[in-house]
Amino acid sequence: MGILEVRDVNKSFGGLKALNKVELDVEEGSVHAIIGPNGAGKSTFLNCLVGLLIPDSGSVNFNGNSLLGIKPHEINQAGVSRVFQTPEIFSDLSLLDNVVIPTLASRDGAFKLNGWKRADQDSEIIVRAEHMLEDVGLIDKRNMHAGSLSRGDKRRLELAMCLVQNPKLLLLDEPTAGMSRADTNNTIDLLKRIGERGITKVIIEHDMHVVFSLADKVSVMAQGTVIAEGSPEGIKGDPRVQEAYLGGAHL
Amino acid sequence: MITATPRKDLLLMGIFTLAVLTMPIWLAPIGASYPDLLQRFAIFGIFAIGFNILFGLTGYLSFGHAAFLGVGSYTAVWSFKLLSMSVVPAVIFGVITSGLFAVVIGYISLRRSGIYFSILTLAFAQMSYNLAYSVLTPITNGETGLQLSLNDPRALDSLVGVTPTSGIPPTNFFGIEMSGYSGFYFCAILMIIGFYISMRIFRSPFGMMLRAVKSNSNRMSYTGLNMRPYTLTAFVISGMYAGLAGSLMAVTDPLAGAERMQWTASGEVVLMTILGGVGTLIGPVIGAGVIKYFENIFSAINENVLHGIFDFLPEILQDGAVAVLSLFVGEGWHLTLGMLFMLIVVFLPGGMVEGFTRIYSRIRNKNNKNNGEAGSVGSAEVQPGE
Ligand SMILES: Nc1ncnc2c1ncn2[C@@H]1O[C@H](COP(=O)(O)OP(=O)(O)OP(=O)(O)O)[C@@H](O)[C@H]1O
Ligand SMILES: [Mg+2]
């Protein structure tokens, strides 16, 4: 059964049709990659899934429930986490706090008036957060300001912030952009490992090495529409895809 | 790096308590140990501590907190008039009433953020100020201000058979008159409690969420947190602190006037917080102290006093020095304060607390070097404790 079912989603910005009848089915537990040239509408599509944008028409169902018209925090509490194209982290806080906050959110819900306990004495939360930082290789920097991290490290931190919530569906917008080859490979390994936990992933990626190492299925977007869909191998040879990528220079 | 631990916090709390309670002693050499000024240190300390919970943690800059100060004062005076000269109901009702006001004003103002939030709170406060002068005169007694009178009902007092023998009875805490040093100690103990509560909030998961609002409200929503109830709770708590401060003004001097709600009073607490250190625990208290000290001491210095100080100089130099310095004292104390404020904002955006932290880490670095250790005070490290 599809954990995410998107039907006929349209979104215009003024005269620009950013999304045109987008359809997408994501299988539970799979890794679904979305590729496509710059400006194809990939990020706009993710924005429509997490409540950042409201589509002009169409439907988005997650586990059988519509995600349209509910608030971003409710979508997250339902089990959808997102890594943004430009990392969204708490820059003024320490790395540990950055991970503690989503951990608290997943345990205590959208609001809890917890003003008398010490956050640093909540060992259950701290242990979970520290394990997560260890997993992404940032544990040594746990007391640093998140704002002082390199771009690649910020991405890994944001990934940790999402993963620590154990989401059912993880949306990744170019999680390896700005990373060195070595860091990219580390991230691929990490994403493979969490694949074993059964987290469904939708991943937008320009780096074909990442796509082919991870994806079970690939959708190709161009000019706001899904123009092709299939297995990574099938997509490679598809002439429409090569055309969208200007003669397949990227493939 | 300075990390907050329960032990260090206990130490900080101990030092703070001791310092506050001994203020009459150690402030004597700088001429600031008279009860009237000490009371104001404590009252504005409370106001600033509460303001900092909103502004320092969430970054929402309210320009209307004086409204809650006024509400607290009016409520307390009404409690003296209708119920009892005991300060206990006055303070309790002052805090509750301003809390209720804060729920309404906060609920509406927090629909916007940034400058629009500030303008909304300012508008509400100015509206309250003008209403207190006009339509609400039956409650506020307009320009004259709300005062006690001999024939006030004081229902609780007369119920237990306390009737004034001569004149209006003084405000009291279980019989202890709330003037002079006892008034100061009452305010001081409430400030210490207020400081402790603020410290608990700073260290709690709730406080962490408030910092998350300030740092990145987008990430906060996509992390599954509902920002609105967090900011509203912070707003109401800080409104209640302001109400407490307002009712304490009435406790030490039982009258209430609308000028307490003026935007200048709202601006003053912003200055106090920034001067001391936004988002630090102790900064707002220091800022409140410095501003009240300047207001009272510097404004009292006049040319005669200056002539006295520079008596040792030849007459021409003496006149020159007095002419220059008199710009900065007396009526001109605002100039001194303004310059101090600009210097702090430009060179120490973290306020006076940042200054102290810098000096501290410089000394520590030097010591570390002397001991041959690697002096590692990374500037990138977080320093939540202060
Ligand atoms: N908020 C907005 N207002 C107006 N136009 C927008 C907005 N967001 C995106 N667009 C436009 O919509 C189109 C799709 O943008 P989008 O960011 O979704 O592309 P993308 O596929 O993610 O590209 P990239 O690979 O560069 O990230 C672009 O032409 C972009 O300029
Ligand atoms: Mg994009």
8 Å CB contact between A202 and A173? no
Nearest CA in chain A to B378: A144
- A2 and A65 share one domain: yes
What pLDDT is stored for residue A4 in this prediction? 96
- A101 → closest Cβ in B208, B226, B381: B208
* Distance of CA A37 from the midpoint of ligand 2 (Å): 9
Q: Do A157 and A187 reside in the same domain of the chain? A: no
User: How many residues appear in chain B?
Assistant: 386
Average pLDDT across chain B, whole number: 90
Give the Å distance between the CA of A105 and the centre of ligand 2.
Answer: 27
Give me the helix-helix angle, B205-215 and B180-203, nearest 10°: 80
Please give the ipTM for the structure prediction. 0.92
Q: Report the range out of A181-190, A242-251, B231-240 with the highest average pLDDT.
A: B231-240
Task: Say if residue A7 is in the same domain as residue A130.
Answer: no
To the nearest 10°, report the CA torsion of B122, B242, B295, B346.
Answer: -60
- Indicate if the pLDDT at residue B212 is higher than 60: yes
| Rounded Cα distance, A201 and B277, in Å | 44
Give the residue from A133, A166, A199 where a domain finishes: A166
Residue B171 is given by DSSP the state: P
Euclidean distance between CA atoms B53 and B281, whole angstroms: 9
- B371 Cβ neighbours under 8 A, 6+ residues apart: none
Check whether residue A241 and residue A179 sit in a common domain. yes
Q: Does residue A69 share a domain with residue A187?
A: yes
Q: For chain A, give the percent of residues with pLDDT over 70.
A: 96
Question: In angstroms, how far is CA A151 from the centroid of its own chain?
Answer: 16
- pLDDT at position B106: 97
pLDDT greater than 50 at residue B208 = yes
CA neighbor of B140 nearest in space, from B67, B53, B86, B192: B67
**CA geometry: angle at B8 spanning B6 and B10, to 5°?**
70
Helix (H) or strand (E) holding A235: helix A232-236
User: How far apart are the CA of A32 and the centre of ligand 1, in A?
Assistant: 20
Which of A43, A73, A91 to mutate against chain B (most B CBs within 10 Å)? A73
In angstroms, the CA B361 to CA B377 distance is: 7
Pocket flag, ligand 1, residue A38 (CB < 6 Å): yes
User: pLDDT band at residue B2, thresholds of 50, 70 and 90?
Assistant: low
- Residue A147: closest CA among chain B residues belongs to which residue? B380
Quick one: A75 and A181 in the same domain? yes
* pLDDT at A187 > cutoff 90: no
Which chain A residues touch B216 with a CB distance below 8 Å?
A: 88-91
- Domains in chain A, number: 2
- The four Cα atoms A49, A53, A55, A60 give a dihedral, to 10 degrees, of 20
Residues A1 and A54 in one domain: yes
Tokens of B316: 């021409």
Q: How far is CA B32 from the centre of its chain?
A: 17
- E strands of B113-212, at which residues? 146-147, 172-173, 176-177
Which residue's CA is minimally distant from atom 17 of ligand 1? A43
pLDDT tens profile A79-95: 999 999 899 999 999 99
Distance CA A124, CA B6 (A): 18
**Relative orientation angle of helices B180-203 and B35-58, to the nearest 10 degrees:** 10
- Domain shared by A133 and A11, yes or no: no
Q: Report the distance separating Cα A228 and Cα A238, nearest Å.
A: 8
Of all protein residues, the one whose alpha carbon is nearest to atom 7 of ligand 1 is A13
**Residue A162 lies in domain:** 88-166
Q: Are residues A158 and A175 in the same domain?
A: no
Residues of chain A with pLDDT > 90, as a percent, come to 73
Q: Say how many CA atoms lie within 13 Å of A29 toward its Cβ.
A: 4
CATH assignment at residue A13: 3.40.50.300
Q: State residue B293's pLDDT score.
A: 92
Q: Is residue A167 within a helix (H) or strand (E), and if so which, with residue range?
A: none
* Residues forming a β-bridge with A80: A169
Taking CA atoms, A23 is separated from A28, A104, A178, in Å, by 16, 34, 29
A11 lines ligand 1 (CB under 6 A): no
Single-letter amino acid, residue B354: E
**DSSP letters of B132-158?**
HHTTTHHHH-TTT-EE--TT---HHHH
Please give the CATH number for the structural domain made up of B6-296: 1.10.3470
At B292-336, the pLDDT tens digits run 998 888 888 887 778 888 888 888 888 888 888 888 888 888 888
| Whether A106 and B226 lie within 8 Å, measured CB to CB | no
Average pLDDT of the segment spanning B12-27:
96
According to DSSP, residue A138 is labeled -
Closest CA to A110 of B238, B201, B199, B212: B212
H or E segment and range at residue B179: none
Mean pLDDT of all residues belonging to chain A = 91
Domain ranges of chain B: 6-296
The domain boundary, picked from A127, A143, A166, lies at A166
Ligand at shortest distance from the CA of A36: 1
Kindly report which listed range (B36-50, B138-152, B202-216) carries the lowest average pLDDT score.
Answer: B138-152
**Ligand 1 close to Cβ of residue A222 (< 6 A):** no
Strand ranges of the sheet holding A16-27, from the earlier edge strand across to the other edge: A16-27, A2-13, A57-62, A65-66
A225 C-beta closer than 6 A to ligand 1: no
Res A247 pLDDT > 70: no
What integer pLDDT is reported at residue A221 of this predicted model? 93
Model confidence at A49: pLDDT above 80: yes
Do A14 and A63 fall into the same domain? yes
Among B1, B215, B224, select the one facing A105 at the smallest CB separation.
B224
Give the single-character DSSP code of B34. Answer: S
**What is the pLDDT, as a whole number, of residue B380?**
42
Q: Give the residue from A51, A226, A103 showing the smallest Cα distance to B222.
A: A51
Are residues A162 and A176 both part of a single domain? no
Partner residue opposite B209 with nearest CB, options A92, A101, A143 = A101
Strand A16-27 relative to strand A2-13, pairing: antiparallel
Q: What is the pLDDT of residues A90-124, one digit of tens each?
A: 999 999 999 999 999 999 999 999 999 999 999 99
Final residue before a domain boundary, out of A166, A199, A231: A166
Chain B residues inside the 8 Å CB shell of A77 = 224
Closest CA relative to residue B157, chosen from B168, B144, B147: B168
Closest of B114, B227, B381, B216 to residue A87, by C-alpha: B216
Q: Where are the beta strands (DSSP E) in chain B?
A: 146-147, 172-173, 176-177, 255-256
